[in-house]
């Protein structure tokens, strides 16, 4: 009974934040706001032009809302790009907040970008280690294949967890130091602002929720490698 309760608590700890983020974003993504003239995509374009970031593109994506610093592109899922809901408007402002961070070459944003690039290569190297572990043990006379697997698993998931957690300040800044002041400049009513703050908080914590889910995979790998 104790073990079952422990497992339930772990699952709540890991998946609870994800469920909370999804619930908040979905709650305010149902009804179009009649006082807002444009879609999320049009609002993103307006913000970027207002801050003289005309070179930054706005595109539809199927891979989740994000800002791509390599191509300087704000990408929104179709419901945000074409929608006039409070979630569409607020998430667009949040992603434009990252474009503003990039334009200002803010140190934390630059660090997050470098970490993301490093994490990609770490995952590739880690996957290669896991695939070639038996061969590496034979060639380099490594005492245990488990050692290679542990290093590979750490490279795949450890860097991902670290990147998600270390980028939380960047996400909070994009939400509350960039997007929120923009929205308060007459784009949303006073009645809409409390909900917008909830959405911005959820947008900032998206990466933390993802990192907690990754922690579960780390725990599973460690359990396997101990055998």
Structure confidence at residue 174 (pLDDT)? 95
Classify strands 57-61 and 66-68 as parallel, antiparallel or unpaired: unpaired
Structure-token pair, residue 217: 């995979």
Torsion over CA: 81, 87, 89, 90 (sign): negative
Contact assessment for residue 149 and residue 88, using Cβ atoms and an 8 Å cutoff:
no
Distance CA 96, CA 78 (A): 16
Distance CA 192, CA 60 (A): 25
Residue-range domain boundaries for the chain: 2-225
Distance CA 178, CA 27 (A): 23
Structure confidence at residue 125 (pLDDT)? 77
* pTM, 2 dp: 0.80
pLDDT in 10s for each residue of the chain, 227 residues: 666 776 666 667 667 777 888 999 999 999 998 888 899 999 999 999 999 999 999 999 999 999 999 999 999 999 999 999 999 999 999 999 999 999 999 999 998 888 777 777 777 777 777 677 666 666 666 666 666 666 766 666 777 777 777 788 899 999 999 999 999 998 999 999 999 999 999 988 877 766 666 666 655 555 555 55
Structure confidence at residue 17 (pLDDT)? 75
Nearest to residue 36, comparing CAs of 174, 176, 192? Answer: 192
Q: How far apart are the first and last CA of the chain?
A: 24
Distance CA 53, CA 24 (A): 29
């Amino acid at each position: 009974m104790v073990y079952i309760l422990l497992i339930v608590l772990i699952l709540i700890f890991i998946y609870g934040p994800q469920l909370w983020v999804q619930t908040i974003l979905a709650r305010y993504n149902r009804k179009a706001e009649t006082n807002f003239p444009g879609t999320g995509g049009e609002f993103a374009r307006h913000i970027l032009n207002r801050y003289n970031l005309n070179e930054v593109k706005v595109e539809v994506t199927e891979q989740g809302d994000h800002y791509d610093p390599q191509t300087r592109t704000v990408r929104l899922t179709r419901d945000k790009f074409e929608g006039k809901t409070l979630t569409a408007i607020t998430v667009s402002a949040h992603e434009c907040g990252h474009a503003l961070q990039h334009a200002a070459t803010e140190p934390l944003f630059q660090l997050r970008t470098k970490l993301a690039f490093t994490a990609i290569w770490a995952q590739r190297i880690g996957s290669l280690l896991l695939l070639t572990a038996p061969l590496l043990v034979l060639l380099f006379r490594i005492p245990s294949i488990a050692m290679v697997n542990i290093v590979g698993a750490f490279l795949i998931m450890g860097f991902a967890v670290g990147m998600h957690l270390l980028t939380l300040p960047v996400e909070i800044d994009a939400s509350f130091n960039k997007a929120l002041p923009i929205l308060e400049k007459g784009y949303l009513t006073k009645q809409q602002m409390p909900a917008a703050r909830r959405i911005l908080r959820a947008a900032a914590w998206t990466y933390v929720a993802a990192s907690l889910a990754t922690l579960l995979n780390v725990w599973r790998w460690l359990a396997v490698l101990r055998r």
